Amino acid sequence: MPRRIAADSGNQNIYGAALEFAGPYRSDSLNNQSIAHVHGGSDRLRVDREGIGMNFDPQDPSSRRPRQRPQLTRRDVLRGGLWLSAGIGVAPLLAACNKQTPAAQQDGGAPYPLARPDSPVTLPIKDSNSAIADGLEPETGGVFKILNYSDYMAPGVMKDFGAKHNVQVEVTPYNNYDQMLAKIREPGESFDLVFPGPSVLSKMVYTDLIQPLNHSYLPNLKNVWPEYQDPWYDRKAQYTTPYTVYTTGVAYRADRVSTVPEVGYDLLWDKEYAGKVYLLDDPGEAIGMSLLRNNITTDINTGDPELVQQATDKLIELIDLVNVKTTVSAYSLIPEGTATVHQCWSGDMIAGQYYLPKGETTDVLGYWLPSAETDRVIGNDVIAVPAAAAKPVLAHAMINDLLDNAISLKNFGWNGYQPPLNKLSPQYLIDQGYIPDNLMNTVVLPGDFKNGLTFYEVSPSTEALWRTSWASFKAGA
Amino acid sequence: MPEPKAGYDRATRRLWPLLAAPGVLWLIAFFLVPFYAVMAVAFSGTIDIFGEPIPAWNPLDWQFGTFTGVVSDSVSGTFQAVWTRTALYSFWALLICVAIGYPVAYYTARLAGRRRGLILALILAPWWINYITRMLAWVNLLQDDGYVNNFLRLFGVTPISWLSGNSFTVVVALAYGYLPFFIIPLFASLDRIDQRLLEASRDLGIGPIRTFLHVTLPLSRMGLITALVITALPMAGDYYTNTLVSGSPNTNMVGNQIELFLLQGPLKNLGASLVLLLSLLLLVFMAYYLVLTQRASRDAR
């Protein structure tokens, strides 16, 4: 058999994750040029990262279109020949070596470098997918289609924009990035603006789902925090501009929860609130939270099947314990009182004040996040223009609007998600009365990202692992 | 009976397949082709960069690992609970359908007299309203401070959270949603029972209960089975009823799991495998039903 990195999973649930990335020394992979072979029914996760790296060359202009199978490059052939000459006998030995280096599993199978704050990535720009030319007039008329979380942009902002440019602004909502990717890739579908995050970015660039930005249309980019002028996931902000920053914590009804435990995640496991406990409908956030709460690991991007399984088992406990449900609507469920405890993003609770029924004050809202900065889950969302956008110039205009201090403030005043703009400093937002006193901890400071935990883009095998685990939770087993 | 002419015979022989052609084409375009696509996804051996299966259109490329994995996990593993729930919920919902639907169909067919048209119209009236709207009406009734809980509070009952993963609510909603499908075929069958057989039974001095048990019930057996099949098939694959009145992993049925895989992420090969498995199971029931109807029509002759 060819060499493999075998990560023992020891569980039956993740056969979907049992990917095997065949290297080029395998004659069948040379012929089929398949990216990955799924061998279901197996309970092991086999990853051969070298092989995939060879099959995928991000620089290769011929592997441009989404879903196109990778082409055989000269390097592949050379390396393949090397491997053949090295002989298959050596392979198991090497596999055993690789198994011992955890770093090998980290980006196992990703055909592009995985961006990390300590290893920033400059996303490639291809001739075939270049930015729009300078000095074009924004398109007018028809529909401007946005792919976004629901209630993530103020209707007033969209209305103004529509009136200004004589277009009808339309939002197609999704609950998580998996859904977003499914929608943006739907054949025949084209959106003008999309709001991804760093954890799915390289993949979207690699498959030409988004186009490079032309900064000449984005004078307001200077308004954003310095780190986002040149972020680690997209050096020089070639494809994205930041949209919002947020932490992940636990929202609760302060009038029903008498004492908040030191580890606020425990509220989710509290039988007292059974039937009114909600998780974020997001595999990463939910399983990641379980990893932290149950002291399994602080690596919320782990590819270790054992650890992910432990975290998932703990989530499955919640089904019988508190009849848990999953949504991304904490901003309405907590104020309405439908939920007593809801894992949520910080912006949800700032927005929550606008969803309170008549007669209730913001005192009923509560937000908990870990006291130690190093335990906090922190993230940011970005704005990008899909490659298939029908109105790319107008899309640039909207991005520039969203980075405008006044428009951004209006947007924040509705969706509650803090934009990382210099002028809209936390103190300014507090002074302006946007953030109630009891929700001060929802504010994100620029320095928080240095110590916090962030979801990164991970290898396909790790993604598959998290997804199948999430599916087993959803099955309510 | 006069012999038909030879020419006529040949013409009819050509006519029948011609008449069947639209139906056959329909089946091919909207059943066989999509079904093949489902198989191509379920038996796909390769995934793309998004983790989505690349359909294997050539049967020679088919790999059955994912499918067998899903089967074994359905027997004992992740999906076992989902299948058990589907079976149990469908069973109880069908039982409710029989308990409510049979008397209604019986009354409409046998006793309603002149009001029969009105009653039929009333049974069908909910169909004028969109299914989802009707289910949302249940949400209004059953929510924590909804009408049902307010009513119960009058009797000092503590409010029940009907909508957060309550199996009972799901069963009731399923029964409610599919009840008309159950009543109509049953009504048709009860309506067709020869009145004279019942009169004969009465003339022979048999009471109404025994008449029902020994005449009406056996004669309506095929109608009852048809009604059960027509109701059970969509129930087994239903997911939106559940999504609207529960949405909790606690009550997830196989339809919800399929929806999760097919619409909410890239693991479409798992979803397609579940679809195939569900189709296979339902096919067994359908085959049994066809055998029964075949036997019944043979007995009738």
Q: Which two tokens stand for residue B198?
A: 């019942």
What is residue A27's predicted lDDT score, i.e. its pLDDT? 32
Which parts of chain A have pLDDT scores under 70? 1-108
- Other CB atoms within 10 Å distance of the CB of residue B39: 21
Of A289 and B160, the structure prediction assigns the larger pLDDT to A289
Of B158 and B55, the structure prediction assigns the larger pLDDT to B55
What is residue A450's predicted lDDT score, i.e. its pLDDT? 87
Taking only the tens place, the pLDDT of each residue in B7-38 is: 667 777 888 888 989 999 999 999 999 999 99
- Beta-carbon contacts of A161 under 8 Å, excluding residues fewer than 6 positions away, are A144, A167, A169, A397, A398, A401
Q: What is the mean pLDDT of chain B?
A: 90
What is residue A20's predicted lDDT score, i.e. its pLDDT? 37
Tell me whether A28 touches chain B (CB under 8 Å): no
- Select the residue of A16, A319, A477 nearest B267 (Cβ to Cβ): A16
Tell me whether A332 touches chain B (CB under 8 Å): no
What is residue B190's predicted lDDT score, i.e. its pLDDT? 92
Size of interface A-B (CB pairs under 8 A): 161
Cβ separation A175–B264 shorter than 8 A: yes
DSSP H or E stretch at residue B24: helix B6-27
Query: What SS3 class is residue A37?
Result: strand
Tell me whether A10 touches chain B (CB under 8 Å): no
The ipTM value here is 0.84
What is residue B6's predicted lDDT score, i.e. its pLDDT? 59
Place of tokens 């997209």: A234
* pTM for the whole structure: 0.80
DSSP state of B214: I
What is residue B169's predicted lDDT score, i.e. its pLDDT? 94
- Select the residue of A35, A275, A477 nearest B47 (Cβ to Cβ): A35
Question: Is the pLDDT confidence value at B51 over 70?
Answer: yes
Q: Which two tokens stand for residue B265?
A: 């992420």
* Alpha carbons A150 and A281: distance in angstroms, whole number: 13
Q: Are strands A325-327 and A277-280 parallel, antiparallel or unpaired?
A: parallel
Kindly indicate the confidence band of residue B280, based on its pLDDT and cuts at 50, 70 and 90: very high
**B 128-157 residues with CB < 8 A to A:** 144
**A 47-76 residues with CB < 8 A to B:** 56, 66-67, 69
Taking only the tens place, the pLDDT of each residue in B80-134 is: 999 999 999 999 999 999 999 999 999 999 888 888 889 999 988 888 888 889 8
Stretch B211-223: mean pLDDT = 90
Cβ separation B269–A38 shorter than 8 A: yes
Report chain B's terminal Cα–Cα distance, integer Å. Answer: 20
Task: Please give, rounded to a whole number of angstroms, the shortest distance from the CA of A13 to a CA of chain B.
Answer: 6
Tell me whether A187 touches chain B (CB under 8 Å): no
Task: Please give, rounded to a whole number of angstroms, the shortest distance from the CA of A58 to a CA of chain B.
Answer: 12
What is residue B2's predicted lDDT score, i.e. its pLDDT? 56
Query: What SS3 class is residue B239?
Result: coil
Q: Backbone phi, then psi, for A382, in 5-degree steps?
A: -125, 170
Continuous H helices in A323-391: 330-336, 346-352
Q: Which of A9, A11, A13, A15 is most worth mutating to test chain B (most B CB atoms within 10 A of its CB)?
A: A15
- Beta-carbon contacts of A25 under 8 Å, excluding residues fewer than 6 positions away, are A2, A51, A80, A83, A84, A88, A91
Cβ separation B54–A19 shorter than 8 A: no
What is residue B231's predicted lDDT score, i.e. its pLDDT? 94
Q: Are strands A5-8 and A377-383 parallel, antiparallel or unpaired?
A: unpaired
Nearest chain A residue (CA) to B143: A338
Taking only the tens place, the pLDDT of each residue in B192-202 is: 988 899 889 88
Tell me whether B78 touches chain A (CB under 8 Å): yes
